[in-house]
Amino acid sequence: QVRLVESGGGLVRPGGSLRLSCTPSNRISYVKSMGWYRQVLGKERELVAVITGGGGTNYGATVYEDFEKGRFTVSRDDAKNSVYLQMNSLKPEDTAVYYCSVDYYTAAGGVVSLMGQGAQVTVSV
């Protein structure tokens, strides 16, 4: 059973930076998409950004401007089978549990969706 291994979360002061990383425990050959979701305490999980197999990126409405302004950057390294979320100039409202998400194709032609265990990001003085 493939699982997603996340790292890079933690406590950071406002204005600081964090880089989240996610790598599957076993190599996934046919990745459909890789990306990130987040869940603020008391709210529903929301899309941050997902990179599709074709290289396009879908951004969540709440964070779209953060990507436009370069405060957040999402990237993937297919050689390492990994996806990253770089977050700069962090604000207290970025505090959330960030979940890695990977969809991949099976040999039978189906799609499997995986979600990581979550990485806590806390932005506070």
pLDDT tens string 68-108: 999 999 999 999 999 999 999 999 999 999 999 999 999 99
Mean pLDDT in residue range 39-47: 97
Indicate if the pLDDT at residue 112 is higher than 90. yes
Q: Which residues pair with 75 in a beta bridge?
A: 84
Q: How far is CA 100 from the centre of its chain?
A: 4
Q: Quick one: pLDDT at residue 1?
A: 85
The CA-based dihedral angle spanning residues 83, 66, 45, 84, taken in that order and rounded to the nearest 10 degrees: 10
What distance in Å separates the CA atoms of residue 34 and residue 93, rounded to the nearest whole number? Answer: 24
Residue 102's closest CA among 39, 38, 36? Answer: 36
Please, which residues have CB within 8 angstroms of residue 5's CB and are 6 or more apart in sequence?
22, 23, 24, 25, 116
